[in-house]
Structure 1
Amino acid sequence: MRFTEEQQAFATAVRDFCDAECATLAQRDALTDGGRLANSPQILAKLADLGWLGVSIPEEYGGAGAGMVEECLFLEATSRGLAPITAYSTGLTAAQTYLRYGTEQQKKEILGGLCRGRLEAIALSEPGAGSDLGSVRIKAVADGDSFVVNGQKTWTSAAHVADHLLLLTRTETGPKKHEGLTLLIVPTDAPGLEIRGIETMEARTVNDLFFTDVRVPAANVVGEAGQAWRHLMRGLSVERLIIAAMSLGAAQRSLDDVLGYVKEREQFGRTIGSFQAIRHRIADLATEIAYCRSFVYDVAERIDAGEEEQLAREGSMAKLKCTEVAKHTALEAMQMMGGYGYAREYGMEGQVRKALAPPIYGGTNEIQREIISKSLGL
């Protein structure tokens, strides 16, 4: 697609911000306690002051009232710029469900907070229910004007830094596993809720959640009780586009960094970028990224035009392709950088670590292939 002058200026401004605030390893370490944190309140606050958080959220809820094209430009640029705002995308995914099914009060509180730099989380997976979300077992039992929640969630991104959880619970048991599911808003400081971090190869991002008689007001139901599966579907489709845009930015960052390296690194009396084996690998990566960029913004443009009938399939296609390209680009870049690719100073090892998770979360890429194949009548 062809971006407008305003969209181009916006993307440039976000890139310039990242270059000024978090371009160097020293800057990022200062913002993230030496790389141990995935999110920087300082950066989130600055982005909120600029009016860039929630750029696609309607103005009446604190956003800029732009579209998914602008949101993808922001996500791509901040991912490329290594801005430590990982949890923002989780809140943006939750926002899709609140926008369509939340009450006015819920929208003002949750969406308004997101635009001001507050964070939100979504609690879906359980120890026995990952890709098969219809098998969730956590129970929310009606008790007067409240629900009492007991059970466990796992792999919950951003729960430790979020204000609320958008919690998928089972309120009824029926013949069909996707029926009887309800979405509840649970404050993360609710009595009876324990949030325990899961150690991974990255900064703390995911958590186990334990619910022991957690009382949630019935007013915190999002949408209609028992209809959570239907309420989640659009949000999950948009989530895949969100992940695709972030992976696009990550792939571009890996390419930028390895390109700078091969132009300067000399062996056998010349730069290694002058060897055909390297040049052709770089050319292949650049081509893949260019195709990903065209597709991501084509899907975003269709969403903004109200053409959502193909969103499930094309969102899955975008997520599948962009996450695989980001992983491939980071691994190829590490190989071309040799030993320096493993050194934290050069940053590529961090790019590799970050590129390994997106093909798994937001619906594994195997699940995306299933969605795509079913949409083709298979």
Structure 2
Amino acid sequence: MSLSLTEDRTAFAEAIRDFVAKECGTREQRIALTDGGRSAHNEKLNRKIGELGWSAVAFPEEYGGSGGGITEACLLLEELAYGQAPVFGLGISMIVGSTIQRFGTESQRAEVIGSLARGEVSAIAMSEPGAGSDVAALRCAARRTADGYVINGQKTWISCAPYAERILLVCRTGDGGSRHEGISMLVVPAGTDGVDIRPIDTLGGREINEVFFTDATVPHDNLVGVEGQAWSQLMAGLNFERLVCAATFLGNARRAFDDTLEYVRQREQFGRPVGSFQALKHRLADLAVDIKCASLLVYDVARLADEDKDRQWPREASMAKLKATETAKKAALEGMQMMGAAGYTTEYDMERHLRQNVIATVFAGTSEVQRDIIGKTFGL
């Protein structure tokens, strides 16, 4: 984390560490909270975080938040990730809350941010079988009728949908002059008729889902922002989304590094700890530099975003997401290599780090997309 935190932020980070150590500090606790490692989200633990006033730390007090900023959100997510707290849905719920705060009505803000503050989960549905990195190619459609919006189509790779209180749906409500026009956002409450959620088995568990909409109807009041202009709304929220992702995987990278370091200090071969051999020592040195660079980048961008909340930082936010996620994947892969067969067994956490972090460079915008965005900011 940043070395220039205020006293309040330092105390906040320490409080999170104490909480995580108490709730999931042992491997046995984590196994119990994750159904033997099969689940990345524990609803009871997430609600405890809400009760402490942390879930909505970056949101206004009038909606149930704590009045902090993106820096506080990054601290929370980094420390929770480092402590391996199984609250996968928290970061995604923050992203939804940020969008609603910017573009939602007063009633939507009260509902969604209030829900976040209570430790409840929201999901967001953008990707489709034919629209992943190219979100503007989406085809899931909502037709406006006298009774509301009637939704038909399919979404895929949707996190947390089965236990979410609502899904923020990005869909097509019309045709415009370009493919970026005619896209809208709708809030789809849990239990809406015509919504079918089907889990997708992955290396990381069953947190990812397909969602099918068949004549699912939501009221007109569930429109978020301006009909047909969701593309600009999505772009406005990229600072927050990429920093949420970057802070989470920064915490994961730190934990994989520390677990590796502990192991190579204790494991002996040829009469001495394996970490004392140059081949491993240099790998750890490179990882330490990468993690420090990622940390400085994440918190510098968070500072910029807090100082000017209405400005987009496409180059900087993409840099933070790119560096943190690539570092997290590298830390897990290198950790497994340095731990040898032990890193592959379920006796240690390294195999879990690998399953979590291998997706880092794909989740929330691939590394290739981030590099393309960065290149475009230089006029390329």
Mark yes or no: TM-score above 0.5. yes
- Counterpart AA for 1:187: P
Partner of 1:5: 7
Q: Tell me if 1:80 matches 2:107.
A: no
Q: Tell me if 1:136 matches 2:171.
A: no
1:175 Cα offset (Å): 3.2
- Counterpart AA for 2:59: I
Partner of 1:364: 366
Partner of 2:273: 271
Which residue of 279, 283, 286 maps to 1:284? Answer: 286
Contact 2:24 2:84 in 1 (8 A): yes
Q: Tell me if 1:227 matches 2:233.
A: no
Distance in 1, matches of 2:234 and 2:98, equals: 9
Q: Tell me if 1:337 matches 2:339.
A: yes
Q: Tell me if 1:95 matches 2:97.
A: yes
Per-residue CA distance 1:84-121 (angstroms, 9 max, x = gap):
00011111111121011000100000010011010000
Which residue of 28, 32, 35 maps to 1:33? Answer: 35
Distance in 2, matches of 1:357 and 1:237, equals: 20
Q: Structure 2 matches for 1:141-152, cutoff 5 A? A: 141-152=143-154
Which residue of 207, 211, 214 maps to 1:212? Answer: 214
Q: Tell me if 1:306 matches 2:301.
A: no
Distance in 1, matches of 2:370 and 2:187, equals: 27
Contact 1:88 1:119 in 2 (8 A): yes
Q: Tell me if 1:241 matches 2:230.
A: no
What TM-score do the two structures reach when normalised by structure 2?
0.97
Distance in 1, matches of 2:358 and 2:265, equals: 27
1:220 Cα offset (Å): 0.3
Contact 2:236 2:312 in 1 (8 A): no
- Counterpart AA for 2:95: T
Contact 1:125 1:155 in 2 (8 A): yes
Q: Structure 2 matches for 1:181-200, cutoff 5 A? A: 181-200=183-202
Report the count of equivalent residues. 378
Per-residue CA distance 1:233-263 (angstroms, 9 max, x = gap):
1223321111110110000000110111111
Contact 1:25 1:345 in 2 (8 A): no
Contact 1:93 1:236 in 2 (8 A): no
Partner of 2:252: 250
1:81 Cα offset (Å): 0.5
Contact 2:51 2:117 in 1 (8 A): no
Deviates more, 1:322-331 or 1:11-20: 11-20
Distance verdict in 2 for CA 1:310–1:100, change over 3 Å:
closer
SS in 1 for 2:209: strand
- Counterpart AA for 1:49: E
1:308 Cα offset (Å): 5.6
Aligned-pair Cα RMSD in Å: 1.1
Gaps of 5+ in 1: none
Contact 1:94 1:235 in 2 (8 A): no
Per-residue CA distance 1:30-50 (angstroms, 9 max, x = gap):
112111221112211211121
Distance in 1, matches of 2:281 and 2:366, equals: 32
Deviates more, 1:101-110 or 1:17-26: 17-26
- Counterpart AA for 1:303: A
Contact 2:305 2:311 in 1 (8 A): no
Distance in 2, matches of 1:341 and 1:37, equals: 20
Distance in 2, matches of 1:165 and 1:374, equals: 31
1:25 Cα offset (Å): 2.0
Partner of 1:294: 296
- Counterpart AA for 1:47: I
Which residue of 92, 106, 109 maps to 1:107? Answer: 109
- Counterpart AA for 2:279: A
SS in 2 for 1:95: helix
Per-residue CA distance 1:206-226 (angstroms, 9 max, x = gap):
111111110110000000101
SS in 2 for 1:199: strand
Distance in 2, matches of 1:29 and 1:45, equals: 19
SS in 2 for 1:111: helix
1:145 Cα offset (Å): 3.7
Contact 1:183 1:225 in 2 (8 A): yes
Contact 1:96 1:234 in 2 (8 A): no
Q: Tell me if 1:350 matches 2:352.
A: yes
Percent same amino acid at aligned positions? Answer: 50
Q: Tell me if 1:24 matches 2:26.
A: yes
Distance in 1, matches of 2:275 and 2:155, equals: 48
What TM-score do the two structures reach when normalised by structure 1?
0.98
Partner of 2:181: 179
